[in-house]
Amino acid sequence: MAASRQPAFFLDYGIYDTVAGRFELLALHTGLAVWRIETLPAPGPDLAQDLTDAVFHNIDTALREIGIGDASMSKRMKSMAQGYLGRTLAYREALQGGDTAALALALARNVYGDEGRAGDSACLRLARYTQRLNAAYSGLDMDRAWSSPLPVVDAATVT
């Protein structure tokens, strides 16, 4: 969660420091981590599910703290979970294919809310950051995933 809150995202990458902007960054980081952890031998898939459950529990708690009521919480959480799954799939497919343009397009659509931004410098920088983060996560083994903090890429150093 701390990696998704790096000030550089909000100061240098042009991502709005809003509930939606924070969700996009958390979904990006969580989705990549879960992808890598679920490919590890047992109990990797269980650990990946536990991580996902913990993140969405924290999202639920945070939304309640800012005043989202019980009446709309179920619908909101379902929508966020579906969005998370769609985003994660788009990022994975682009990363697996080594397709920076597809990755930038998915990030532009989801993080910036504008596919037209896929070619701008901030979005391309976020694509390079995502590629570096994915590379850092690709070195995870079960011992590191289970007992150590996940690798962090300093967003301020990506150009």
pLDDT digits (tens, 9 = 90+) for 64-120: 898 887 788 888 899 999 999 999 999 999 999 999 999 999 999 999 999 999 999
Residue 81 confidence (pLDDT):
94
Residue tagged 């966020």 (tokens): 80
Angle at which helices 100-107 and 70-96 pack, to 10 degrees? Answer: 170
What confidence tier does 142 reach under pLDDT thresholds 50, 70, 90? confident
pLDDT digits (tens, 9 = 90+) for 110-139: 999 999 999 999 999 999 999 999 999 998
User: 145, 110, 111, 134: which is closest to 32 by C-alpha?
Assistant: 134
The dihedral through the CA atoms of 48, 69, 6, 85 has a sign that is positive
Residue 101 confidence (pLDDT):
96
